[in-house]
Amino acid sequence: MFAFSFAPVKIPSRLACRATLATSSSSPSPSPSQLAFDATYIKRAADLADKSAGLTAPHPNYGCVIATSSGNGKNVVVGEGYLYAQGTSPAELQAVEAAGEICRGATAYLNMEPNHCIGDQAAVSALLQAGISRVVIGIRHPLQHLRGKAIRALRSEGVLVDVLGEDLQCKAMEESLKSCYLVNAPLLYRAASQVPFSVLKYAMTLDGKIAASSGHASSISSKKSRTRVFELRSRSDAVIVGGNTVRRDNPQLTARHGGGHLPQRIVMSKSLDLPEVANLWDVTKVSTMVMTQRGAKRSFQKFLASKGIEVVEFEILNPKVVMDYLYDRGCLSVLWECGGTLAASAISSGIIHKVHAFVAPKIIGGKDAPSPVGELGMVEMSQALDIIDMNYEQVGPDMVVSGFLQPVPDLTPVIPSIDETYAIDPTVSPYESSIIFFYKTWDPYGAFSNFSLHPIRMPDESGEYYSWPSVEHYYQANKFVGLEDPVAKTCLEEIKRPDLVRADWGSAKIDVMYEALKCKFTTHPYLRSMLLSSAGSVLVEASPHDLFWGGGRTGRGTAELSREAADAAEIRVAG
């Protein structure tokens, strides 16, 4: 298993552990042996969560361990689970189902506070219904509007909740707390810096060259190192290269031999001076996106589009605007496998958080041979960037050197959420913004999203009422209604093929969406109340790539979804 290195979290050293139980001042402090169990099981929960790295984005990696006393002074694990991928059963639900009745009165160990918001309360509900009496949490949720909500919900039901670094502080907990930070480092960086977690990876010779003077760069590192790179890719949402890498190396950028998740491949090129034949243009197994400047080589853009490649134009192309865009699209982790010029630009932009250097025991020489990082504008060694928390590992004949340019954000201090602030100062309203954006389902108004799992009962193509998991399921299925093509009928079940959309979809889709939203806000009254509470504000579905239902990346979209939602609510109010 690949392990992150870590920028240390500052935890006060103590000769003995201190436990401060937040739920009851009369509750006894855990014994040293119990604290040792706590540390072990929290570490186990983090290890479980790490199994789904790269598959859950943009959600956190969650693991849950349920343990109970065996009667001889020892604790035993009775249930485990982890979030396999986005949309699958919560880790907590899997663990309690595995434990069954045995988990009544047991302790649950979570590497991170679970989501707890409108439309997503399954984790807390599973723990409460199972009769869990104590919950130990590694770290609070890093997103401010979710931070502390699950903890308060559990404590309000009489469950004892201990949070590492807050209620439980001791030297023995440091490694467990580090594991919790590391397994969700991408989310912590994303929450703190508003960009995806970015890792710069390169392979170089012992004399610091990433290619010969001729430009030839294949097989610098060993086969074992390349397998490690495949693992790095499988943990990432996207892999970025520049135009030079495409022209010189013709990479595939897959996770072949590594298995698991296949990240999206991204090419950054201002000029689009790219070859027509390239491995990256084959999108049968994994998609490719090309990012360029507005107006660049329209003919080549059409060529790429014909290959099924998404082209995104920016007024000025640079690493920062690309990261802002990928942040909006929900990316958690991005791997940069680019040449020295683009690497220098990314570092100068301040968006690189970690570096992995694969150093091969080879010397190639050459005054014109390229180095991993191009010009940074530094003229004195005192200006050099320090790499912190270095880690060294031999992989085959190579040495892998890794470290952080920016430490993992320590979010231990509790930042009051909007709800907490409002309870102290009622003049601060959670609905005071004139423009309310919603996109991801965990956003404060994320329940308005078509993807939020609020079932609606609407007729299928035969007129029979069916419980659709979400508005989006119903909306997509209607693209294929009435088509006789057998493939289209299959698509009605699987929702896969947009090229088989019914001919009248352009005119029918607004009515379909309106009826679905009307059903959603009727079926779930608390959603209607939430929607009505936004009166006086402008609702905008903030999808960066949907110019019809959303606002689009530049804000020029028509945002029809918000209008239809408002109309649906008004109809019901009038009724």
Query: Hey, which residues does 268 pair with through a beta bridge?
Result: 242, 291
Active site residue 113: no
Copy the structure tokens of residue 540.
């905008």
C-alpha to C-alpha distance for 513 and 320, rounded to whole angstroms: 35
Question: Around Cβ 386, how many Cβ atoms within 10 Å?
Answer: 8
400, 357 in Cβ contact below 8 A? yes
Residue type at position 453: L
Burial status of residue 298 (CB atoms within 10 A of its CB: 0-12, 13-18, 19 or more): exposed
Query: Hey, which residues does 384 pair with through a beta bridge?
Result: none
Kindly write down the DSSP assignment for every residue of 128-175, as one continuous string: HHHT--EEEEEE--SSTTTTTHHHHHHHHTT-EEEEBTTTEE-GGGHH
Pairing of strands 388-395, 63-69: unpaired
Burial status of residue 224 (CB atoms within 10 A of its CB: 0-12, 13-18, 19 or more): middle
Residue type at position 482: G
Copy the structure tokens of residue 129.
């219904």
C-alpha to C-alpha distance for 53 and 449, rounded to whole angstroms: 25
Query: Hey, which residues does 301 pair with through a beta bridge?
Result: none
Helix (H) or strand (E) holding 81: strand 75-82
Kindly write down the DSSP assignment for every residue of 518-573, as one continuous string: HHHHHH-HHHHHHHHTTTTSEEEE--TT-SSSS--TTS-S--HHHHHHHHHHHHHH
Kindly name the residue from 80, 92, 515, 541 that is annotated as catalytic: 92
C-alpha to C-alpha distance for 446 and 436, rounded to whole angstroms: 10
Copy the structure tokens of residue 342.
């683009």
C-alpha to C-alpha distance for 412 and 147, rounded to whole angstroms: 11
Look at the block and give the residue holding tokens 């491949």: 265
Q: Give SS3 for 41.
A: helix
C-alpha to C-alpha distance for 495 and 107, rounded to whole angstroms: 41
Copy the structure tokens of residue 508.
């029918």
Question: Around Cβ 159, how many Cβ atoms within 10 Å?
Answer: 19
**Residues designated as active site:** 92
